[in-house]
Chain A
Amino acid sequence: MNELALLLAATLASGTPLALAGLGLLLNEKSGVLNLGAEGMMLVAAVAGFAVAFHTGNDWVAFGAGALAGMAMAAIFGWLVIWLGTNQYATGLALSLFGGGFSAFVGVNYVGKKLAAKSAFEVPILADLPFVGPALFKQHPMTYIAIGLTIAIAWFLYRSRAGLVLRAVGESPESAHALGYRVRLIRLGAVLGGGALCGIAGAFLSVVYAPLWVEGLVAGRGWIALALTTFATWRPARTLLGAYLFGGVTMLQFYLQGEGVEIASQLLSMLPYLATIVVLALISRDPAWIRINMPASLGKPFHPGS
């Protein structure tokens, strides 16, 4: 029983960076912009966050630095894609590539450095509850922030005027423009917001989860986060669950290996990816659901006056 509680706790921790990045990409995509540069943004943010944590000793300032770094990278992307109308897929890929090289480049002096020791986190009182305590209440605050953000973003998208405008821009930028909304600025806002969240995810990896910096630290999690938004059919709650599913199955297969299960570890390592495909197939069966939720203008550029 205790092992199950620990597995749940590990799942929450493992899913948090994926969830944060996934939510950021969700915002992006709801406005109609597909940013394939998640990996690059997360890497640059990770090195920025680590450097700031190293010099200031303050994790939260580091997360802020990560967010800013993510936004800076997203701004380059946003300018190219929104104002110059370049192909979104290619530009995103270029961002990933550039981010990888750039982060490795500037991070050279931070490899092998360590951060100040951290204290363990737990929610007082609740953490002492049997089973539920260790399972849910001994997480880093960022895990709870991620859950809170999911609710906040869901509220924003589906219950607030601003969110409605954002979704309108994503569905039909021409109509939104005709109504007088500044489509390009709104899209930029979404892109920057997405960049900030991806940045926090990257900083979380390097400052809390690992915690260290080395090139390639993100190791493909940006791509997984991208895949998750599709998996989640662009709904915030599903993004969170998808992140936990992925993180959970990853921890599960480690657990199975440790128990000496006699399946080759390479095959067990396939589990998280297989699980994602299977669940996706099951939940995608309704094409109407996808049509309702996928932003219609996703991937297409918009030019006012064109």
Chain B
Amino acid sequence: MIEMNKRFLLQAAVAVLALAAIAGCGEKQAPKPAEAPKAEAKAAPAPPPKPEPLKAAWVYVGPVGDAGWTFAHDNGRKAAEAEFGDKIKTSFVEKVPEGADAERVFRDLATQGNKIIFATSFGYMEPMLKVAGEFPDVKFEHATGYKTAPNMRIYDSSFYQDAYLAGIIAGKMSKTGTIGFVGSFPIPEVLRNINAFTLGAQTVNPKIKTKVVWVSTWFDPPKEGEAAQSLINGGADVLLQNTDSTAVLQTAEKNGKYAFGWDSDMSAFAPKAHLASAIVDWSGYYKKAIKDVMENTWKTERTVWGVKEGANDLIKIADVIPEEIRKKVQEIKDGMKAGTFEVFSGPIMGNDGKERLAKDIKADQAWKDKVDFYVKGIDGKIPSAK
């Protein structure tokens, strides 16, 4: 069964060498990579040479087909590609794990001539920082992080605004007074969303309660469905999620309850249950970032866009929602667009009784970054609190 051949040493080594030889010979015959833009043969007189297209690369943590987080980023990439035409050349690498492998991918992309690289998940922060130090003339952009460098900057969106708007709707549509949230991991962004969802609902029904269940994954549709079922069994009749699939929405539909779409327009998946979809649109930012590089106006900064800049929105609001709620949602959206409405305005009480934001104070970005508590109305302790 198992051959303990000493000859194995020799033949295996021969195998690997043969392999390298085959491929090596093959490589010499290989034409340039298949994606190179075709150069058009032109008759005399030769026009001035076209400038080399700017190479831009995206690194994704999930598959582009996830219909969620990565899908939204890829749509942004495609929009930028459409906008700039043949002035840029984009590429992407998907499903890059957020550990030691990411560093290698960034380094390879940088050595391949990409002048701007986007990393779309928090876990890429340290690897990107390391590589940024080695390639000073490449620009690095990190989503949802907090570390920067002279050639590395950060960007983020304000999902919590969508969550707040959804909360307003949920507060009205919930008959049991309990709403549910399927959470992925207890990181600040998710906690902000849960809190904003609850705060929004409380403006309509001050006695609303939120139940939270953590699935410890960004993407596992059957598990998300089970979590949603568990929330419904526990009495929640309007659900929001921070995970990336349509499972929660579909479970709500199966049970005759309500839910929201997340990351993209999910209305087609649950005609009866779908109340609205909380979306993110990265295309505006990606176009700006590439423009910055092209026009040499790129500088290290932190950009957090939201409803105002068109990066976040709550769309496809269902007809079943009463008119006065729609009006309210629109009003608040207008306030967000004008920059006058702040979701996190005092007074805000944590569910442990401590006041987290004083009356009449509007939270600044630093406060929002540090959200590590549940607001009043949510039972339980955050699984990342000590």
Bitwise, A91-112 to B at CB < 8 A (1) or not (0) is: 0000000000000100010011
Bitwise, A1-33 to B at CB < 8 A (1) or not (0) is: 001001100100110010000000000000000
Closest-CB distance, A91 to chain B (whole angstroms): 12
Given A108-B65, A257-B212, A258-B211: A212 touches B245 (CB 8 Å cut-off): yes
Please determine whether A114 and B254 come into contact, CB atoms closer than 8 angstroms.
no
* Residues in B whose Cβ lies below 8 Å from that of A250: 223, 226
Listed stretches A53-61, A71-79, A163-171, A213-221; interface member:
A213-221
Closest-CB distance, A298 to chain B (whole angstroms): 14
B1 interfacial contact with A, CB 8 Å? yes
Please determine whether A255 and B269 come into contact, CB atoms closer than 8 angstroms.
no
Please determine whether B212 and A269 come into contact, CB atoms closer than 8 angstroms.
no
Interface size on B, residues (CB 8 A): 44
A117 interfacial contact with B, CB 8 Å? yes
Closest-CB distance, B312 to chain A (whole angstroms): 21
Of the candidates B63, B65, B268, which one forms a contact with A114 in the assembled complex, judged by CB atoms under 8 Å apart? B268
Q: Which of B202-254 contact A (CB under 8 A)?
A: 211-214, 216-217, 219-223, 225-227, 229-231, 233-234, 236, 245-247, 250, 253-254
* Residues in A whose Cβ lies below 8 Å from that of B227: 254
Of the candidates A6, A17, A111, A205, which one forms a contact with B67 in the assembled complex, judged by CB atoms under 8 Å apart? A111
Bitwise, A203-234 to B at CB < 8 A (1) or not (0) is: 00100011110111101010000000000000
Give Cα A181 to B208, complex, Å.
69
Please determine whether A212 and B246 come into contact, CB atoms closer than 8 angstroms.
yes
Chain A, residue nearest B234 (CB): A258
Please determine whether B229 and A10 come into contact, CB atoms closer than 8 angstroms.
yes
* Interface residues of B, dominant DSSP: mixed
Interface size on A, residues (CB 8 A): 42
Please determine whether B383 and A212 come into contact, CB atoms closer than 8 angstroms.
no
Listed stretches A122-130, A237-245, A260-268, A282-290; interface member:
A260-268
Please determine whether B65 and A111 come into contact, CB atoms closer than 8 angstroms.
yes
* Residues in B whose Cβ lies below 8 Å from that of A251: 226, 229-230
Chain B, residue nearest A5 (CB): B233
* Residues in A whose Cβ lies below 8 Å from that of B219: 214, 216
**Top-9 shortest CB links A-B:** A260-B379, A260-B380, A111-B65, A254-B230, A6-B233, A265-B214, A265-B383, A264-B383, A112-B67
The 24 listed contacts between A and B (C-beta, < 8 Å) are A6-B233, A10-B229, A17-B222, A111-B63, A112-B65, A117-B271, A209-B222, A210-B222, A211-B250, A212-B245, A212-B269, A214-B63, A214-B65, A219-B222, A250-B223, A251-B230, A257-B213, A257-B230, A258-B180, A258-B212, A259-B211, A260-B381, A264-B384, A265-B383
Q: Chain A interface (Cβ within 8 Å of chain B)?
A: 3, 6-7, 10, 13-14, 17, 87, 104, 108, 111-112, 114, 117-118, 120, 205, 209-212, 214-217, 219, 221, 250-251, 254-255, 257-262, 264-266, 269, 301
List 14 other contacts, CB 8 Å, given A210-B222, A255-B233, A265-B186. Answer: A13-B229, A111-B63, A114-B268, A209-B225, A212-B247, A215-B63, A219-B217, A221-B222, A254-B231, A255-B234, A262-B381, A265-B383, A266-B383, A269-B216
